């Protein structure tokens, strides 16, 4: 069985602060994908990034960066110089590769990020 844990239910920071969202996962699969999605108040889940289990290279995209550590089963997400528009619920998700995605995504419960002006 797969499980994704996002221990931080809500985080509130002041604009321009850096913030890290934690994600820990459990899976018996040897190959898998990890994802981060953003859900603004409008409700639509917006895809942010995907990582493969066999590629532990960290990634930076503008103000966003991701730290994937297979040894600790973690896939953390950092926003640098946060902005009010970053306020949303962020979800970490996991899917297997061998099954071809037939079981869909396993999501964490999400972290509600509040950026105060």
Partner 1 sequence: DTGVSQNPRHKITKRGQNVTFRCDPISEHNRLYWYRQTLGQGPEFLTYFQNEAQLEKSRLLSDRFSAERPKGSFSTLEIQRTEQGDSAMYLCASSSSGGAPEAFFGQGTRLTVV
Contact residues: partner 1, CB under 8 A: 4, 33, 35, 37, 42-47, 50, 91, 93, 95, 97, 100-110
Nearer to partner 1, 45 or 114 (CB): 45
Q: Name the token pair of 60.
A: 């930076």
**Among residues 57 and 71, whose Cβ is nearest to partner 1?**
57
Minimum distance, C-beta of residue 15 to partner 1, in the bound complex (Å):
25
Minimum distance of partner 1 from residue 111's CB (angstroms)? 10
For the bound state, the minimum distance from the C-beta of residue 94 to partner 1, rounded and expressed in Å, comes to: 11
Give me the least distance between CB of 86 and partner 1, in Å please: 19
Q: Residues 6 or more apart from 11 whose CB is under 8 A from it? A: 19, 21, 111, 112, 113, 114
CB closer to partner 1, 4 vs 19: 4
Structure tokens at 59: 């990634």
- State whether residue 22 is helix, strand or coil: coil
CA distances from 16 to 13, 58, 79, 90, 100 (A): 8, 22, 9, 18, 40
C-beta of 5 vs 67, nearer to partner 1? 5
Coil, helix or strand at residue 19: strand
């Amino acid at each position: 069985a797969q499980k994704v844990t996002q221990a931080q239910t809500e985080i509130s920071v002041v604009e321009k602060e850096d913030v890290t969202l934690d994600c820990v996962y459990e899976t018996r699969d040897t190959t898998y994908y990890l994802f981060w999605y953003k859900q603004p108040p409008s409700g639509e889940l917006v895809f942010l990034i995907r990582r493969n289990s066999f590629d532990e290279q960290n990634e930076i995209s503008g103000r966003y960066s991701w730290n994937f550590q297979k040894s600790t089963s973690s896939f953390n997400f950092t926003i640098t110089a946060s902005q009010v528009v970053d306020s949303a619920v962020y979800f970490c998700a996991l899917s297997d590769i061998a099954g071809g995605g037939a079981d869909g995504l396993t999501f964490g419960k999400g972290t509600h990020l509040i950026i105060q002006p």
